[in-house]
Amino acid sequence: MLRRVRRRYAAERRFRALGLAAIGVSLAFLAFLIVTMVSRGMGGLTLDFLKGSDSTDPAMVGVWGALKGSFLTILVTMGIAFPVGVLAALYLEEFAPRNRWTDLVEVSINNLAAVPSIIFGLLGLAVFLNLMHLPRSAPLVGGLTLALMTMPVIVIAGRNAIKSVPPSIRDAALGVGASPMQVVFHHVLPLALPGILTGTIIGMARALGETAPLLMIGMRAFITVPPGGIADPATVLPVQIFLWSDEVDRAFVEKTSAAIIVLLLFMLAMNGLAIVLRNRFERRW
């Protein structure tokens, strides 16, 4: 019997080691990725690289054009997705009656959050470019496409944040004499805002790293001048990385890796900001 117990304990130790090994594999892969990118790209991170734009000569390329394009695109995306997403979340959580129509809206939003991003690119191509003739490869079209993609994420995060506000706050506001709309906008929304912002930043980070839908709407062009406004042709950082990875010249490997380092730093900064926001401002009721 002692032998059986010892066998069971040995199995327990093996199982635990397997779990540790699984985590170790993930961590090792992440470390492998970061070390490879840093080792190949560190040399390319010069000030000229950060200020220059795309060119055919690998010694002269820079990411400034792509960074500006990314910034304008994210501006359009957030300008559309944040208001629409927050308002939709408020309606679905606070005011919507429980009928077939709102069930359909809920199912729609949950499905849209899981649709592959390239389908949104096809939608943008068919509607924004072919039907509405908006300028190709502009941050306006890219922002609109990414806004459609980010809005469900914001709605879902918003609903969770609004759900976590306790009913006592709403009842107290109603008791003091506020109208339902005032309860929502003066009391529930400010309290749910940290959670909504956390979800928004995560959605924004995801939109910043998207490539496939922007390829579909034509951001594949060779842009040598940074965009001036949201209707000028532009490119974004992930698409720039993709375009440079196709280049045959080996000198582009260093530049691509350097651009990847810049992109990863941005991602880290935004996710870090979301985590800091969540830890400092989110209240546990």
Nearer of residues 47 and 177 to another protein, judged by Cβ: 177
CB of 285 to another protein, least distance (A): 20
Query: How far apart, in whole angstroms, are the C-alpha atoms of residue 252 and residue 264?
Result: 18
Q: Residue 217: what are its φ and ψ, rounded to 5°?
A: -90, 15
Of the candidates 139, 142, 147, 132, the one whose C-alpha atom is nearest the C-alpha of residue 231 is 139
CB of 113 to another protein, least distance (A): 9
Nearer of residues 23 and 59 to another protein, judged by Cβ: 23
CB of 257 to another protein, least distance (A): 8
Query: How far apart, in whole angstroms, are the C-alpha atoms of residue 178 and residue 187?
Result: 10
Nearer of residues 47 and 280 to another protein, judged by Cβ: 280
CB of 118 to another protein, least distance (A): 5
Query: How far apart, in whole angstroms, are the C-alpha atoms of residue 218 and residue 133?
Result: 13
Nearer of residues 8 and 283 to another protein, judged by Cβ: 8
Angle ∠(197,262,156) on CA atoms, nearest 5: 25
Query: How far apart, in whole angstroms, are the C-alpha atoms of residue 27 and residue 35?
Result: 12
Contact 113, 202 (CB under 8 A): no
CB of 100 to another protein, least distance (A): 12
Nearer of residues 136 and 194 to another protein, judged by Cβ: 136
